[in-house]
């Protein structure tokens, strides 16, 4: 909503308006000037002068430092720009708090379909979250040509604009540009005083204020009440701050005592309504008062169009508050407490807490904060509550163990697992702590499993909590409605299952998660979504794709019904969907859920899920023959933590998550790395990653299987068979994926030994084991020897064998592209690969993270190079040339 100001003292500034209009073709306009320079008024005038221009306006507030709040306000402002907001609603479902790269890429794609749109971020100086500011910088780089961003701020944000400046891709207005001319100054003074000001006085005031709008306005008010004064004009000097202080005193001194006192008392309030002012000041005429103050140009700003919510100009308010505090600090505190009482009585907790904190009513503030319910968790709005708690001096909350616990829960939800665990341990070790408080500490330590590298510690915490619940009845304090014994049991049981999973014990992990789904606390939707998603991911991890697919769908449906589609708890389900698609040999179908999973996981820094997403991206790279990308994605040396890992197709250069991966995830990453090395002709290097001690008996199943494959690739059949024989027991915990891989390795070994019949039997058994799940990836990741055996069986067997053969053909032969008179570029080959799935142009743009116009250009190039005129002809020609896989039997039936 664009804030409204009185038109009585607005001066038209056509030159500046023209400059704003001319800059609309650029990505960014920056308006940097001190308070009172007229930044907001100028933008309001521009909006009024261009009524046909779509404008999304966000007046930044300190609370917008919370990335979740900022992203919601951004989407709400954009939604108001157009009537069809389906794309933005889908984007809302993906986001989980913040403007990470995936969110921004999707936003850019959606904005490409908007009319010409201006996004205004007014008062950006209120933001101090450097990550959020960096994301805004990336937003400028990502927005399409039809969108223009305007930033108004008192100081330059810590964002690197050098590239835009060098390319003349941004327009800047600064204090000197906004300074009012002599004529504009004269007009403004005349409007405020309602009379002509002598030219000498105008010249002196314009010169001394240097065109500073607030200074001119304050000077006008002084002249209005005192008349022209040579002494006033002569003494008008000094810095902006001194001018403001001097003129404010002159204005206040010119007022009656009652009016001056009234303004000082009103300044204690932030956003004012008539009801609030009447309550706090003991009046009955606040609405008329607002109208009077606006008429007298007393710096009153309307926040809504109906002018029912108003505030003072920030500079004027701050100076009034300074005088109030200096003259009567006790009265200021009384006013703040009265305002807090008003908001509490109306159920408006946020402003109430802010007033209590300003009044230093620490105990009451903490009591109000602790009354927040589970919505903090469900809406992902932890940043604000953390700020509230930490605004209370530590000595004032040292005795509140409940506050320490809630702070630990909140920072843990936000991804600060070390800080959270430290807070919980301090409570657990405190001799004053009750058994209930210690139970909460253990339960929430266990809940940090997906954030930390040591799941054995989180598992021990879960075991302690469950043992305590079995031995005694525990009375727990109520923290956000999340700490009943029933909910703690569910939380610890599910978290224990996740810990077992990350430790590599899939059997125990499944048992614990199933047990968690049987507890009473699973009726709480976020916990149900999380447990269903975790179980889905566990099943996909072991190759039980049919169950994984159903569980992930149930988790996402439950999240949608409970309005949790923006919550990080949904990450497991999306990653499970992506892994199912990968295992079925369809990396293109995995891109969207993987992207959603990355967004959700990184919204609160679930590092272990981010590593799993990285592993899945490496699988996709391997299936598509991008082995160097797969190797870079599986590099385990942690990089700088700045920046997000990217979107569904995670860039190979994306920073690795921090901290390091947990054991099970690390093992899979190592195995994926070994696979990429082997399949790119570096089997010997792959074998070097296999532990040499005790012939690798301590290695995980996935690593052991890749060691067997590397040995076979090197022709070391006896060594491979010995490894398989030594490792039989370890594979039993990973059906059916492990079982299929073992059968394929045995087939490969038999083929190398010349026992073709046995090799075909092993492959046939592998197909039978994999077919119920549609498990394709183990075949595609094996070797040409195995794939040739599958091809031999396909005419007789059909089904999964035919699918494997068809998908094997997706590995685009370089020689096929080379036969074209003008070969397709890598980007064109990527887009060509998406054409058969019937995606719209907009969807293709979203998948490839480019604009719709760019997609149209690429497809036109594809059609020209293939000598065709449309999509269907391009697909047919590409299949004929071998650039796309031939239709499978199932595809023919669907066609």
Distances 39 to 36, 151, 152, 178, 671 between C-alpha atoms, Å: 8, 10, 6, 8, 57
- Within 328-454, residue ranges assigned H as helices are 329-345, 349-358, 362-369, 375-378, 382-391, 394-397, 401-413, 417-429, 435-446
Mapped onto helix, strand or coil, the DSSP state of residue 118 is strand
- CA dist., res. 502 & res. 455, Å (int): 6
Predicted pLDDT at 729: 61
Q: What is the DSSP string of 344-381?
A: HHTT-HHHHHHHHHHTT-HHHHHHHHTT--THHHHTT-
Tokens for 88, please give them. 């933005």
pLDDT at site 727: 60
Q: 208: cis peptide before it, omega within 30°?
A: no
Rounded-to-integer distance, Cα 336 and Cα 98, Å: 32
Q: Please tell me the number of Cα atoms within 13 Å of 349 on its side-chain side.
A: 15
Helix/strand number for the chain, H first, E second: 50, 7
Nearest to 522 by CA among 552, 487, 485: 487
Classify residue 86 as exposed, middle or buried by CB count within 10 Å of its CB (0-12, 13-18, 19+). Answer: exposed
Token pair recorded at residue 570: 């949904």
Cβ-contact 340, 355 below 8 angstroms: yes
Cα 734 from Cα 544, distance rounded (Å): 9
Helix (H, G, I), strand (E, B) or coil at 887: coil
Nearest to 545 by CA among 733, 749, 776, 373: 776
Alpha helices in 175-272 (DSSP H): 175-178, 182-193, 199-209, 213-226, 230-235, 240-254, 257-266
Angle between helices 401-413 and 362-369 (to 10 degrees): 50
Chain centroid, CA 762 distance in Å: 46
CB 355 within 8 A of CB 336: yes
Q: Which H or E element spans position 542?
A: helix 525-542
| CA–CA separation, 737 and 437 (whole Å) | 43
Res 51: pLDDT = 86
Backbone dihedral angles phi then psi of residue 779, each to the nearest 5 degrees: -70, -45
Measured from the Cβ of residue 14, the count of other Cβ atoms closer than 10 Å reads: 9
d(CA 871, CA 864): 11
Angle ∠(553,589,851) on CA atoms, nearest 5 = 115
Say how far residue 688 (Cα) sits from the centre of its chain.
38
460: which 2 tokens? Answer: 């021990």
What DSSP line would sit under 593-654, residue for residue? HHHHHHHHHHHTT-HHHHHHHHHHHHHHHHHTT-HHHHHHHT--S-----S---SSS--TTS
How far is the C-alpha of 447 from the C-alpha of 501, rounded, in Å? 13
10-residue mean pLDDT profile of the chain (895 residues): values are: 52 91 93 84 90 90 85 85 51 50 77 90 90 87 91 87 81 88 89 83 80 79 68 56 60 78 94 96 92 75 80 78 92 97 95 96 95 78 89 94 95 87 92 95 95 92 94 89 95 98 94 97 96 98 96 96 89 97 90 90 90 94 88 71 40 72 94 94 92 58 92 94 74 76 95 95 96 95 94 89 78 62 82 78 72 86 90 85 61 43
Residue 241 phi, psi dihedral angles, 5° rounding: -65, -45
Q: What is the distance between the terminal CA atoms of the chain, rounded to a whole angstrom? A: 51
Measuring CA to CA, which residue among 46, 53, 72 is closest to residue 61?
Answer: 72
Instruction: Find all residues with CB under 8 Å of 840, minimum gap 6, and list them.
Output: none
- pLDDT, residue 241, reads 53
823 by Cβ neighbours in 10 Å (0-12 / 13-18 / 19+) ranks as: middle
Beta bridge partners of 147: 117
Output the DSSP codes for 127-173: ---HHHHHHHHHHHHHS-TTEEEEEEESS--S---HHHHHTT-EEEE
Query: CA-to-CA distance for 623 and 885, rounded, in angstroms?
Result: 13
Cβ atoms 604, 96 nearer than 8 A: yes
* pTM metric for this prediction: 0.73
CA 357 and chain centroid, separation: 29
Q: Is 585 left (phi over 0), alpha (psi -120 to 50) or beta?
A: left
Q: Which of 778, 751, 750, 765 is nearest to 675 (CA)?
A: 778
Using alpha carbons, select from 351, 324, 320, 322 the residue that is nearest to residue 338: 351
- Alpha carbon of residue 599 to chain centroid: 6
- CB-CB neighbours of 83 under 10 Å: 6
């Amino acid at each position: 909503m664009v804030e409204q100001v009185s038109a009585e003292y607005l001066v038209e500034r056509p030159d500046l308006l023209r400059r704003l209009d001319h800059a609309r073709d650029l990505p960014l306009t920056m308006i940097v000037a001190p308070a009172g320079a007229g930044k907001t008024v100028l933008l309001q005038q521009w909006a009024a002068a261009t009524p046909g221009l779509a404008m999304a306006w966000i007046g930044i507030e300190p609370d917008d430092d919370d990335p979740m709040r900022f992203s919601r306000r951004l989407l709400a402002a954009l939604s108001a720009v157009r009537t069809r907001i389906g794309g933005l609603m889908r984007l809302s479902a993906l986001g989980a708090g913040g403007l990470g790269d995936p969110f921004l890429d999707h936003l850019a794609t959606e904005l490409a379909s908007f009319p010409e749109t201006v996004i205004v971020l007014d008062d950006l100086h209120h933001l101090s979250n450097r990550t959020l500011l960096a994301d805004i910088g990336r937003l400028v780089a990502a927005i399409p040509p039809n969108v223009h961003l305007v930033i108004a701020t008192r100081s330059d944000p810590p964002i690197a604009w050098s590239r835009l400046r060098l390319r003349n891709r941004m327009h800047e207005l600064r204090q000197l540009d906004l300074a009012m001319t002599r004529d504009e100054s004269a007009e403004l003074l005349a409007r405020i005083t309602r009379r002509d000001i002598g030219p000498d006085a105008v010249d002196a005031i314009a010169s001394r204020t240097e065109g500073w709008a607030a200074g001119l306005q304050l000077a006008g008010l002084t002249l209005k009440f005192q008349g022209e004064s040579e002494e006033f004009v002569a003494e008008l000097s000094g810095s902006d701050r001194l001018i403001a202080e001097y003129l404010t005193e002159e204005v206040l001194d010119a007022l009656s005592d009652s009016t001056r006192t009234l303004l000082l008392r009103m300044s204690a309030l932030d956003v004012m309504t008539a009801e609030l002012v009447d309550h706090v000041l003991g009046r009955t005429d606040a609405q008329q008062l607002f109208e009077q103050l606006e008429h007298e140009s007393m710096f009153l700003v309307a926040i809504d169009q109906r002018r029912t919510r108003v505030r003072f100009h920030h500079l004027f308010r701050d100076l009034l508050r300074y005088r109030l505090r200096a003259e009567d600090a006790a009265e200021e505190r009384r006013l703040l407490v009265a305002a807090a009482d008003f908001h509490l009585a109306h159920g408006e907790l946020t402003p109430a807490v802010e007033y209590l904190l300003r009044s230093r009513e620490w105990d009451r503030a903490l009591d109000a904060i602790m009354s927040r319910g589970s919505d903090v968790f469900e809406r992902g709005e932890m940043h604000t509550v953390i700020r509230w708690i930490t605004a209370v001096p530590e000595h004032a909350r040292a005795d509140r163990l409940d506050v320490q616990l809630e702070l630990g829960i909140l920072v843990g939800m936000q991804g600060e697992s070390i800080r959270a665990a430290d807070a919980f341990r301090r409570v657990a070790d405190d001799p004053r702590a009750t058994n209930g408080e210690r139970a909460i500490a253990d339960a929430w330590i266990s809940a940090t499993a997906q954030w930390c590298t040591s799941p054995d510690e989180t598992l021990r915490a879960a075991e302690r909590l469950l043992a305590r619940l079995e031995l005694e009845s525990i009375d727990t304090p109520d923290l956000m409605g999340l700490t009943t014994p029933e909910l703690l049991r569910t939380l610890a049981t599910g978290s224990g299952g996740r810990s077992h999973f990350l430790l590599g014990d899939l059997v125990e992990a499944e048992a614990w998660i199933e047990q968690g789904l049987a507890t009473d606390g699973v009726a709480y939707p976020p916990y149900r979504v999380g447990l269903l998603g975790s179980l889905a991911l566990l099943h996909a991890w072991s190759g039980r794709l049919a169950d994984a697919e159903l569980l992930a769908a149930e988790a996402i449906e439950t999240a949608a019904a409970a309005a949790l589609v923006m919550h990080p708890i949904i990450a497991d389900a999306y990653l499970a969907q992506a892994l199912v698609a990968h295992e079925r040999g369809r990396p293109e179908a995995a891109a969207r859920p993987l992207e959603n999973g990355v967004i959700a996981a990184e919204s609160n820094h679930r590092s272990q899920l981010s590593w799993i997403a990285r592993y899945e991206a490496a699988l996709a790279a391997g299936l598509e023959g991008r082995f160097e990308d797969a190797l870079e994605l599986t590099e385990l040396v942690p990089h700088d933590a700045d920046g997000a890992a990217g979107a569904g197709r995670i860039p190979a250069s994306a920073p690795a998550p921090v901290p390091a991966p947990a054991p099970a995830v690390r093992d899979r990453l190592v195995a994926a790395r070994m696979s990429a090395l082997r399949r790119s002709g570096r089997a010997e290097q792959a074998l070097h990653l296999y532990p040499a001690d005790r012939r690798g008996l301590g290695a995980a199943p996935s690593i052991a299987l890749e060691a067997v494959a590397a040995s076979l690739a090197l022709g070391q059949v006896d060594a491979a068979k010995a490894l398989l024989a030594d490792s039989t027991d370890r594979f039993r915990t990973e059906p059916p994926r492990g079982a299929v891989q073992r059968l394929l390795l045995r087939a490969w070994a038999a083929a190398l030994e010349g026992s073709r019949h046995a090799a075909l039997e092993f492959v046939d058994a592998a197909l039978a084991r994999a077919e119920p799940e549609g498990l394709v990836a183990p075949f595609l990741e094996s070797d040409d020897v195995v794939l040739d055996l599958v091809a031999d069986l396909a005419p007789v067997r059909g089904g999964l064998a035919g699918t494997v053969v068809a998908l094997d053909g997706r590995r685009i032969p370089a020689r096929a592209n080379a036969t074209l008179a003008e070969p397709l570029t890598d980007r064109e080959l990527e887009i060509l690969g998406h054409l058969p799935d019937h995606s719209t142009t907009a969807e293709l743009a979203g998948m490839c993270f480019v604009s719709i116009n760019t997609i149209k250009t690429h497809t036109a190039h594809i059609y020209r190079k293939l000598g065709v005129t449309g999509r269907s002809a391009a697909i047919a020609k590409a299949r004929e040339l071998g650039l796309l896989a031939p239709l499978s039997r199932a595809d023919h039936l669907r066609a």
